[in-house]
Amino acid sequence: MKKIELHDYEIIFDDTLSSLNDFLSNHKYSKVFVLVDENTNLHCLPLLQNILSDVAIIETKSGEENKNIAWCEMIWQQLITGNADRKALCINLGGGVIGDMGGFAASCYKRGIDFINIPTTLLSQVDSSIGGKLGVDFQYGKNLIGLFRNPKAVFISPVFLKTLPKRQLINGWAEIFKHALIKNKDQWNKYKDIDILKDDVSDIVYESLLIKKAVVEEDPFEKGLRKILNFGHTVGHAIEAYSLENDKQHLLHGEAIAIGMICEAYLSVKKCGLKGEELNEIKTLILNYFPKHDISNYDENKLLEIISADKKNDRDVVNASLLSSIGNCGYDIPISREEILESLVFYKNV
């Protein structure tokens, strides 16, 4: 059983999840609540039935559009109805939506109760379940209302990925690509040669998390270095927020970030000296798994407005995290509206 140790919690890689049993017996929680959505209730909760007896289930509705304050109110209501005191535990069993929202709801309830994450999507296993960023969406602002707080533990098992739809599996690869692009060229090179749908991802999840761990431990509150994890997210978050409001079938987080990474790799050439061949490499591999999405009818002024309102900016300057080469990323690089528009044109013409 592998572990990654962070300052105040562990990520436990445990196929059978028997270590969750030990965790629960070692911590004498007054009551255990398990937060699920309808999919993780159906597919994931039964896999834990031997371990999770005598727990209260709180079911939310899946989807980014439900990562909001209204659903938090429902969670708080159920915690109150279930008599949750400050020694209660919330287990977030699900993808990034459950993790971000459940962690946020738990952290606000009675000024904070413990929570643990059992991520059940590839994206949440490689990214959102660690690092302590919690929150919900508000108006056009992705994760606009939220806070930093770490889980008590994270349990990762490949068993959950078996029921994950293919689109969701590919979605998670956006963040795996991002981790390699910002910090590890060898990993990036390896990903060029594998079939991401066929190969076993357990080792990849582990190595990708090592990158995130190193970054978030050096800068837990995003004062500096941690901003490199936002590569692809300046443009990507705006595309995601816009798509959520306007597309009939909206883009998933990773799909929007894939577009953002291509745009920001273009900006990296202009602003940070990324080589043209590397831009090509990035574009080719990403498009291989995230085919070009038609953004020709997206309102560019609205996209710029969303980007300007992003919580990552200082005052009026839009700052991005850009690559100087594959494996090396800088941050706080100011980009102009014109440059952002140019990068969108680049994507439209790939």
Ligand X SMILES: NC(=O)c1ccc[n+]([C@@H]2O[C@H](COP(=O)([O-])OP(=O)(O)OC[C@H]3O[C@@H](n4cnc5c(N)ncnc54)[C@H](O)[C@@H]3O)[C@@H](O)[C@H]2O)c1
Enumerate the active-site residues.
Answer: 111, 133, 175, 212, 222, 226, 230, 233, 237, 253
Residues in region 231-270 near ligand X by CB under 6 A: 253
Q: 12 vs 97, which CB is nearer to ligand X? A: 97
Residue 306 engages ligand X in binding (rule: CB under 6 A): no
Interface stretch with ligand X, choices 10-18, 90-98, 299-307, 339-347 (CB under 6 A): 90-98
* Shortest distance (Å) from residue 347 CB to ligand X: 21
* Shortest distance (Å) from residue 136 CB to ligand X: 9
Total residues at the site for ligand X (CB under 6 A)? Answer: 29
3-state SS, one letter per residue, for the chain: CEEEECCCCEEEECCCCHHHHHHHHHCCCCCEEEEEEHHHHHHCHHHHCCCCCCCEEEEECCCHHHCCHHHHHHHHHHHHHCCCCCCCEEEEEECHHHHHHHHHHHHHHHHCCEEEEEECCHHHHHHHCCCCEEEEEECCEEEEEEEECCCCEEEECHHHHHHCCHHHHHHHHHHHHHHHHHHCHHHHHHHHCCCCCCCCCHHHHHHHHHHHHHHHHHCCCCCCHHHHHHCCHHHHHHHHHHHHHHCCCCCCHHHHHHHHHHHHHHHHHHHHCCCHHHHHHHHHHHHHHCCCCCCCCCCHHHHHHHHHHCCCCECCEEEEEEEEECCEEEEEEEECHHHHHHHHHHHHCC
Residue selected from 114, 127, 222, 264 as contacting ligand X according to rule CB under 6 A: 127
* Chain position whose Cβ is nearest to ligand X: 96
Q: Which of 259, 35, 250 is nearest to 134 (CA)?
A: 35
Binding mask 45-74 for ligand X (x = CB under 6 A): -----------------x-x--x-------
Q: Which of 105, 108, 130 is nearest to 117 (CA)?
A: 130
Residue 160 engages ligand X in binding (rule: CB under 6 A): yes
* Shortest distance (Å) from residue 342 CB to ligand X: 26
Residue 213 engages ligand X in binding (rule: CB under 6 A): no
Residue 95 engages ligand X in binding (rule: CB under 6 A): yes
Residue 98 engages ligand X in binding (rule: CB under 6 A): yes
Residue 310 engages ligand X in binding (rule: CB under 6 A): no
* Shortest distance (Å) from residue 117 CB to ligand X: 10
What span, in angstroms and rounded, lies between the C-alpha atoms of 63 and 252? 9
Interface stretch with ligand X, choices 8-16, 104-112, 121-129, 197-205 (CB under 6 A): 121-129
Residue 179 engages ligand X in binding (rule: CB under 6 A): no
Interface stretch with ligand X, choices 36-44, 296-304, 307-315, 319-327 (CB under 6 A): 36-44
Residue 39 engages ligand X in binding (rule: CB under 6 A): yes
Residues at the interface with ligand X (CB under 6 A): 37, 39-40, 43-44, 62, 64, 67, 94-98, 100, 120-121, 123-124, 127-128, 131, 133, 143, 160, 163-164, 168, 171, 253
